[in-house]
Amino acid sequence: MSSSRPKTPAAFITSAVFSASEWPANHPLSISRHQNVMDVCRMLGWLHDDELAVCEPATEAVLTRLHEPGYVTALEVVSQIGKVTIAQREAFNFGTMENPVFTGLFDRAAATVSGSVLAAELSLEGRQVFHPAGGTHHGRPDRASGFCYFNDPAFAIQTLLDSGCAKVVYLDLDAHHGDGVESIFASNARVLCVSIHEEKRWPHTGQLADRAGGFARNLPVPKGFNDAELAFLMTEAVLPLIARFDPDAVVMTCGADALAGDPLSGMELGNEGLWSAIDSVREAVPVSVCLGGGGYNPWTVTRFWSGLWGRLAGYPPAPEQLPDDVQAYLSRLGCDLIDEDEVEPHWLNSFADPAQHGQAVRDAVRALVPAVLAG
């Protein structure tokens, strides 16, 4: 499929390690994500060499700005030798089923950080930027958490602050609460952290009353959260919060695990709803950075992130029926967490999820608005 080129190229952050490093076969992130998106976008004529922004692993000097030196050193060592001691596992929470150690892990994790730094720098040049391998929002300064070893969204935010942005909004649309980012910037008057996430879902933080020193707003939503409810919260809560804070820039973690069909979430969003939410924030804030995040269904992740890149880069929409080569590519994907009979037909032949008409906004969702706007 051919398409016209936007006049100003957007930036797609990439690195060889995002495709080369492999998670263990029994891990939810063992599916290919970054490479799938690149392949499909190239098939659609949506990704060109001048749009690629290549990042290398961040140096120790960069990493230790937000992470403890001992933790950084320990992760590099265990990544090289491929095993951990009991003391290291207990101290740093890696070498577990959740946060395994494998060859190339350190370079991959460090590249997510440099990718977010680069993404922030390019956004300040007026470019639309997507870093699909980013969004490791659970990482803590001194330990791994939730498949995240470093906290790359925090580095994007810090880069924007260091570059002269007076205030930055962090918007987390992942199904899981962005606890690591909120913790790092707790009580920081220059950063407002807003997170929409599924209630009663790991990491079991981000309660409605949690404000992290005053500069966080959390919207824990019930299972089955739908497009009408997302649109309602964006219009009635998120955009007003952003307008009131009046930021110079926004960093968004655009997790695909909030989509219907993801095995690690009970949310039921369609990708059109998420794309629209992201677009509304980009229109409201002059500088924006889009990161990846969670997402454990290869079909929904690939379609959502590919479509997001197409919108960021200004390409015409994909046809309602995808080209044969793209359909063939999607049909070859697989996932141990999803049975073959659970694969929806539209995951293989179209980008956009079917429109869901007649969705109701439940009272539990409506009640979030006055609570987060108060104070």
Average pLDDT (62-90) is: 96
Whether residue 178 lies inside any domain: the answer is yes
Please give the pLDDT value at position 99.
97
What CATH number should be reported for the domain holding residue 221?
3.40.800.20
The two structure tokens encoding residue 261: 């069909």
The one-letter amino acid at 104: G
pLDDT, tens digit, 9 for 90 and up, residues 64-74: 999 999 999 99
What is the band of 306 on the pLDDT scale with cuts at 50, 70, 90? very high
Whether residue 2 lies inside any domain: the answer is no
Whether residue 5 lies inside any domain: the answer is no
Cα 87 from Cα 294, distance rounded (Å):
29
Q: What is the largest CA-CA distance in the chain?
A: 56
Whether residue 3 lies inside any domain: the answer is no
Average pLDDT (170-192) is: 97
What is the band of 357 on the pLDDT scale with cuts at 50, 70, 90? confident
Average pLDDT (309-331) is: 96
Number of domains in the chain: 1
Whether residue 1 lies inside any domain: the answer is no
Strands 168-172 and 216-221: unpaired
Cα 349 from Cα 295, distance rounded (Å):
19
Q: Residue 323: which of 50, 91, 1, 102 has the closest Cα? A: 1
% residues pLDDT > 70 (the chain): 98
% residues pLDDT > 90 (the chain): 93
Whether residue 20 lies inside any domain: the answer is yes
Q: Residue 261: which of 181, 364, 190, 346 has the closest Cα? A: 346
Whether residue 7 is predicted with pLDDT greater than 70 in this model: the reply is no
What is the band of 5 on the pLDDT scale with cuts at 50, 70, 90? low
Average pLDDT (173-194) is: 97
Whether residue 3 is predicted with pLDDT greater than 60 in this model: the reply is no
Strands 168-172 and 129-131: unpaired
Q: Which 8-state DSSP code applies to residue 259?
A: B
Please give the pLDDT value at position 55.
98
102 to each of 20, 76, 81, 149, 266, how far by Cα in Å?
Answer: 12, 11, 9, 12, 29
Cα 87 from Cα 82, distance rounded (Å):
15
Q: Residue 8: which of 135, 172, 125 has the closest Cα? A: 125
What is the band of 2 on the pLDDT scale with cuts at 50, 70, 90? very low
The phi and psi torsions of 123 (rounded to 5 degrees) equal -65, -35
Whether residue 36 is predicted with pLDDT greater than 60 in this model: the reply is yes
The two structure tokens encoding residue 306: 């590919």
Domain that holds residue 203: 11-373
Helix (H) or strand (E) holding 216: strand 216-221
What is the band of 89 on the pLDDT scale with cuts at 50, 70, 90? very high
Residue positions annotated with a catalytic role: 138
Please give the pLDDT value at position 237.
98
What is the band of 112 on the pLDDT scale with cuts at 50, 70, 90? very high
259 to each of 95, 119, 191, how far by Cα in Å?
Answer: 29, 25, 27
pLDDT, tens digit, 9 for 90 and up, residues 245-264: 999 999 999 999 999 999 99
Asked if 150 and 63 count as a contact pair (C-beta separation under 8 A), the reply is yes
Average pLDDT (74-79) is: 96
Cα 289 from Cα 156, distance rounded (Å):
8
Cis peptide before 203 (omega within 30 of 0): yes
The two structure tokens encoding residue 108: 């991959």
Q: What pTM was estimated for this model as a whole?
A: 0.96
Mean pLDDT of the chain, nearest integer: 95
Whether residue 6 lies inside any domain: the answer is no
Please give the pLDDT value at position 261.
97
Whether residue 264 lies inside any domain: the answer is yes
What is the band of 1 on the pLDDT scale with cuts at 50, 70, 90? very low
* H-helix segments, the chain: 16-20, 34-43, 60-63, 69-81, 86-92, 105-123, 152-162, 179-184, 227-233, 239-245, 271-284, 298-313, 324-331, 346-349, 363-366, 368-373
Average pLDDT (57-64) is: 98
